Homo-oligomer: A and B are copies of this chain.
Amino acid sequence: MTQTHFPRSRLVTEAEADKEDLFDYFYDQPGSTPGTLIIEADATPPEIFLIDYNEANSTSVKLSTPEECIDYLDTESVSWVDVSGLGSEDILQRLGEVFGLHPLVLEDIVHVPQRPKVEEYEDHLLILVQMVMPKPNKDGFWIEQVSFVLGQHYLLSVQEEPQRDCFEAVRDRILFNKGNVRKTGADYLAYALIDAVIDGFFPVLEDYGERIAALEDEVILKPSHKTLKKIYAVKRELLALRRYIWPLRNAINSLTKADSGLISSDVIIYLRDCYDHTIQVLDILETYRELASGLMDVYLSAMSNKMNEIMKVLTVISTIFIPMTFIAGVYGMNFEYMPELKWPWGYYTCWGMMIAVAATLCFFFWRRGWFQDSASVNDD
């Protein structure tokens, strides 16, 4: 009952080569029992952090077992249980029991990556999203699934990796009581975290904006085989990003319409704002995709242009010298009776003819504009 990763090209950019493949989803062996958890060999063991707060107080503790949550869950205060790492079947199963999760929910949380979605259950909401973060100092992005389970007074969040997330600012807002997060419930907390995930797409897209802008210059000013590779890579990665944002949009939209009683109408106003951001992300993404697609056409046109330049050089040089060489060839013939050879000014006349031919052809080419460097783009 193993699971295989989808294949990867040797041309992957650093973003991809690093660790994850951009295009797969998790899948079971056909026919396997639903509800069985499959732990990847290289998954990090889970760490459990709990932040419990109400308007007056906030506590942040690291738990060693899932069962330690139970005390906090029973209180009226909001409990945010943040689990990082998917490396232990035992802990995850117990977590599922503590929070009363359906076996399929637990599978969705553990079997990453899944498509972003929102599912309503009797007393909780399951929200799956994909969090992206730009890589410092290189192209590409990290991607990681974050699963939220939102209950009446608690929020469970499960991440793949403990090292990094984009929730630090939210933790600060709770612990140092900034904004009104402490005055509100678990639904507002869920909003704040989802909003952080969505806002995380902007800097990643900004990166692609920069790469596309650089490619726009390169493709017109100095197109080469490498440019082709880079355009293809950008198109490929944007295609991957898109797969995470489209379903996210639907998920957030269905959240703003959920009437499960778990989300208050105040928070729905905030979620609508969040939905707006998702649309903006999609907007930018689709625009970049159109630009990247356009770049491929421009590349082809630019190559065709370059070819024209090369051909012009060949044609100009060849067609000027070929007739001259012919004339020289004629007077290199060894016929016994060739009157021109005896003329005193024969040699100079011959030069004159050759120069006349060359000049005529040059004039013809000049009139056709073949001597202008039509590859220059910057003057008007």
Q: Select the stretch in A78-86, A92-100, A144-152, A301-309 that faces chain B.
A: A301-309
**Do A206 and B7 touch (CB < 8 A)?**
yes
* Cα-based distance from A60 to B37 in the complex (angstroms): 29
**Do B334 and A333 touch (CB < 8 A)?**
yes
Q: Mark A363-380, 1 if CB is under 8 A from B, else 0.
A: 000000110001111001
| Given the contacts A283-B25, A300-B301, A333-B350, A322 and B325 also touching, CB distance less than 8 Å | yes
Q: Mark A317-353, 1 if CB is under 8 A from B, else 0.
A: 1110111111011111111111011111111001000
- Pick the residue among B181, B217, B317 that contacts A9 (CB under 8 A): B217
Report chain B residues within 8 Å CB of A301. 228, 296, 299-300, 303
Does A115 sit within 8 A of B, measured CB to CB? Answer: yes
Nearest Cβ on chain B to A152's Cβ, whole angstroms = 21
| Given the contacts A8-B213, A210-B7, A199 and B29 also touching, CB distance less than 8 Å | yes
Quick one: which of A193-240 are within 8 Å of B by CB?
A: 195-197, 199-200, 202-203, 206, 209-210, 212-214, 216-217, 220-222, 224-226, 228-229, 232, 235-236, 239-240
Report chain B residues within 8 Å CB of A303. 301, 304-305, 308
Does A170 sit within 8 A of B, measured CB to CB? Answer: yes
Q: Mark A178-193, 1 if CB is under 8 A from B, else 0.
A: 1101000000000010
Q: Which 8 A-B pairs have the closest CB atoms?
A: A31-B169, A328-B329, A33-B179, A7-B210, A27-B202, A9-B213, A30-B199, A331-B333
